Amino acid sequence: MRTPLSSPIPTHSTLRHKIDSVLKASPRWFVARLLPGLCAAALLVPSSSQAQTLYIGNNYTNAYAVHGYNLTTGGAPTFTITSEVGPPGALLVSGDNLFVANEYGKTVTKYNTTTGGAPILTISTGGRFPSALTLSGNNLFAANPNTGTVAEYDATTGTPLMTISTGVGTSAPTSLLLSGNTLYVASGLYAGGTVREYNATTGELILTISSGISRPQAMVLSGNNLYVANYNTNTVTEYDATTGGEPVLSISTGVLAPTALALSGNHLFVANHVYNGTVTEYDATNGGSPISTISNVNQAEAMQLWGNNLYVAAGGIVTAYDTSNGGAIVQTFTDGVQGAFSLAISPTPEPGSALLLTVGLGLVGGFRRRRS
Q: What is the pLDDT of residues 193-225, one digit of tens each?
A: 999 999 999 999 999 999 999 999 999 999 999
- In CATH, which superfamily holds the domain spanning 12-363? YVTN repeat-like/Quinoprotein amine dehydrogenase (2.130.10.10)
Q: Phi then psi for 232, rounded to 5 degrees? A: -75, -30
Specify the pTM. 0.83
What sign has the CA pseudo-torsion 168, 314, 140, 206?
Answer: negative
The whole-number pLDDT of residue 348 equals 55
Angstrom distances, CA of residue 227 to CA of 31, 48, 184, 234: 28, 32, 11, 13
Query: Tens digits of per-residue pLDDT, 258-293?
Result: 999 999 999 999 999 999 999 999 999 999 999 999
H-run or E-run covering 32: helix 28-34
Q: Report d(CA 261, CA 43) in Å as an integer.
A: 14
Q: Which of 3-7, 9-13, 30-34 has the lowest mean pLDDT?
A: 30-34
Under a CB-based contact definition with an 8 Å cutoff, are residues 238 and 246 in contact?
no
Q: To the nearest 10°, the Cα dihedral for 303, 308, 309, 312?
A: 20
Q: Report d(CA 187, CA 143) in Å as an integer.
A: 10
pLDDT greater than 60 at residue 303: yes
pLDDT > 70 fraction of the chain, expressed in percent and rounded: 80
Q: What is the mean pLDDT of residues 308-315?
A: 96
**Domain locations in the chain?**
12-363
Q: Report d(CA 94, CA 88) in Å as an integer.
A: 17
Give which of 102, 39, 97 is closest to 367, Cα–Cα.
102
